[in-house]
Amino acid sequence: MAHRPTDVPAVDGSAEERAQPAAVLRRRDFLTAIGVAAAGYLAGCSDEVREAFFRNHFLELSPQEVEARLRRLRDTYGARYGKNVDMSAVAARPGVVFGYALDLSRCVGCRRCVYACVRENNQSRDPQIQWIRVLEMEKDKGIDFAEANPYYDPERVPEEHHFYLPVACQQCRQPQCTMVCPVQATWQEPDGIVAIDYDWCIGCRCCMAACPYGARHFNWGDPHVPADEINPDMHVLGNRPRLRGVVEKCTFCVQRVRDGRYPACVEICPVGARKFGNLMDPEGEISLILEQKRVFVLKAELNTQPKFYYFYGT
């Protein structure tokens, strides 16, 4: 030790402790005081704050705790938006794996799906977040992400010599995003939907770096959705309003599809290019498309094994 005079022989710890002035706050006392203060604060505050403080990972919640969280969210959003919020946590059905197919020979790039998705999933209007991005590409060049243009804005679509490739979360079977998440705030559900626990996400954005499809979006600012535009039909892992500093992405409209309904983008597509169904159902449209049409996935070489297929219907 540099501060100890060299002529004083080294003494044991207790001697050193005794040598210190008595008025100094000792570490042990300090930590104890902090602990007592924190315990006192938590004992005095409401159940809601206590729940938020000691909340657990979504997958580790007991049914009662899930119910408590749903109740809390229902109350919070109900008060904030002045609406009767239907907050559910419906689990995946056994024997169902969702698949999606998009007919590139039909898509005209009208972006109806983008805004239907924003409306259904309560995406922030300002700052703008859109889960679907439609890329305009040249037929001569084929699928070339470097040359793709998401900002096309002609009078009419489709434009000659162009085709359109809408990209959202590909719901990979090997989701890189879930593998890099340091807190496991994102995972793959049994029905194949890659979900995010917005309460657990720490906003490190590792998943965004890992996703090869640019499908994940970060709330850099406070997300803003006007109260009269809120969709009150919510799922706790899906379209409930997000917080600043968390990542969000397409969930195949989990609040709709676990009810048996089609996703919002499927229902609005004016050309019927979007197809959705159960991959495990041999009579379902996705199985038939995989069987009968020319199908491919984006960036197959990365072995992410998406459940979002592109096909040519003609």
Partner 1 sequence: MSDPGEEGKREAAGHGATPEPDTEFSIAQSNALLPLLLIAALTVLVLLVVTVRSRPVIPPVGAPADKAYSPKDFPEVFKALDALAVKDTGPELARASFPVPPPPFTEGMFPCMSCHESIPPNAERRPLEAMHADIVFEHDAEHRWCLDCHDVTDRNQLRLANGTLVPFTESYRLCGQCHGTQFRDWRTGIHGKRTGYWDGPKRYLLCVHCHNPHSPRFAALAPLPPPVRPQFLAAGDAAAVQGAAAPPAGEETGHGAQTH
Which residues form the interface with partner 1 (CB under 8 A)?
Answer: 108-112, 114-116, 118-119, 125-128, 130, 133, 150-158, 220-221, 224, 226, 229, 257, 260-262, 264, 266-272, 275-278, 284-285, 288-289, 292-293, 313
How far apart are CB 92 and partner 1 at their closest, in Å?
Answer: 13
How far apart are CB 252 and partner 1 at their closest, in Å?
Answer: 10
70, 236 Cβ separation under 8 angstroms: yes
Nearest to partner 1 of 70, 250 (CB atom): 250
How far apart are CB 285 and partner 1 at their closest, in Å?
Answer: 4
d(CA 177, CA 170): 11
Nearest to partner 1 of 217, 240 (CB atom): 217
d(CA 280, CA 286): 9
How far apart are CB 115 and partner 1 at their closest, in Å?
Answer: 5
Nearest to partner 1 of 69, 240 (CB atom): 240
Nearest to partner 1 of 7, 155 (CB atom): 155
How far apart are CB 255 and partner 1 at their closest, in Å?
Answer: 14
289, 275 Cβ separation under 8 angstroms: yes
Q: Which helix (H) or strand (E) holds 184?
A: none
Nearest to partner 1 of 70, 268 (CB atom): 268
144, 137 Cβ separation under 8 angstroms: yes
How far apart are CB 108 and partner 1 at their closest, in Å?
Answer: 7
How far apart are CB 224 and partner 1 at their closest, in Å?
Answer: 8
Torsion, CA 283, CA 187, CA 131, CA 254, rounded to 10: 50
How far apart are CB 273 and partner 1 at their closest, in Å?
Answer: 9
Residue labelled with tokens 């489709």: 158
Asked if the peptide bond before residue 127 counts as cis, ω within 30 degrees of 0, the response is: yes
Nearest to partner 1 of 60, 155 (CB atom): 155
d(CA 151, CA 138): 14
Nearest to partner 1 of 140, 153 (CB atom): 153
d(CA 82, CA 75): 10
Nearest to partner 1 of 118, 185 (CB atom): 118
Q: 235-239: list long-range contacts, CB under 8 Å, 24+ apart.
A: 235/87, 235/88, 235/89, 235/90, 236/58, 236/66, 236/69, 236/70, 236/73, 236/87, 236/88, 236/89, 237/58, 237/89, 237/189, 237/193, 237/195, 237/196, 237/197, 238/121, 238/195, 239/120, 239/121, 239/122
